Amino acid sequence: MTDDALDLHLARALRAYADEGVRRIDAKIVAETAIRNGSRRRLLSRLSRPGPAPSPVDFPSALDFEGVIVPLDPPAAPASPRLQLATGSLGSVAIVLAAVVTGVAIGVTLPWGSNPVGVPVSPPSIAPATTQPSPAATPSDAIRPERHDIRPTRLAAGGWRSGDLHRGRSVYEHAQRPEPGGP
């Protein structure tokens, strides 16, 4: 018996104890589950780490698998570093995308509903009075029909209104308003 050997009874007891860890499994189901998880992890790995694949090794050492393995049960298991890396990349893309969408939304809504001087603008009404230039408005602030810009118009109340919206409503109302001499 060598120094690291166990006596017959102890070795037999240890093997009998180890046999308690064996459970009947369906190898096909275990294999299918592993293939599903392995394929997903392989995809995540490729997404998170572009570039040439690492060279194959004859026999992976213990360190190759440290911190890499995730249990099959996703909710209870902490994400692996590769998974976290992939999630981080997707998260970054999502943040950038959200920022772009927000910027576009602000750019679209600013000329129509924003108020550069901080004074609230009342909802546009379709009353004819709102379509007429305010007496308090200076000539330079008035809409110049020859220009089709969307420069905001200063109102008597001190607020600002988009000139384009103003003009558009005015044209619409003129079209809808019956002519004084008409039927």
Partner 1 sequence: MEHELATPPDLAAMVVAQAAAGDAAAFADIVAEHHDDMARACFVICGDQDMAQDAVQAPWSIAWRKLTSLREPTQLRSWLVTIAANEARQVLRQRRRYRLVEIDLADVGSDEDDPSAQVTRSDLVTALRRLSPEDRSLLALRHISGFDATEIGRAMGMSASGVRSRLMRASARLRSELGHD
178 burial via Cβ count (<10 Å: 0-12, 13-18, 19+): exposed
Of these, 50, 51, 52, 63, which contacts partner 1 (CB under 8 A)? 63
Residues in the interface with partner 1 (CB under 8 A) total 53
Of these, 48, 50, 52, 66, which contacts partner 1 (CB under 8 A)? 66
37 φ/ψ angles, rounded to the nearest 5 degrees = -65, -40
Contact 153/137 with Cβ under 8 angstroms?
yes
Angle 132-109-142 (CA atoms, 0-180°, nearest 5)?
Answer: 25
Distances (CA, A) of 18 to 9, 14, 66, 144: 14, 6, 24, 92
52 binds partner 1 (CB under 8 A): no
If the CB atoms of residues 36 and 174 are measured against partner 1, the closer one turns out to be: 36
Of these, 38, 103, 113, 158, which contacts partner 1 (CB under 8 A)? 38
Rounded least distance, CB 43 to partner 1, Å = 10
Rounded least distance, CB 110 to partner 1, Å = 50
The Cα 100–Cα 85 span in angstroms is: 23
Paired tokens of 150 = 């969307």
Paired tokens of 55 = 């060279």
Contact 49/85 with Cβ under 8 angstroms?
yes
If the CB atoms of residues 30 and 104 are measured against partner 1, the closer one turns out to be: 30
The stretch among 7-15, 133-141, 149-157, 174-182 that binds partner 1 (CB under 8 A) is 7-15
169 binds partner 1 (CB under 8 A): no
27 binds partner 1 (CB under 8 A): yes
Site for partner 1 in 70-109 (CB under 8 A): 70-73, 78
Residues forming contacts to partner 1 in the complex (CB under 8 A) are: 3-7, 9-23, 25, 27-28, 30-35, 37-39, 41-42, 45, 56-63, 65-73, 78
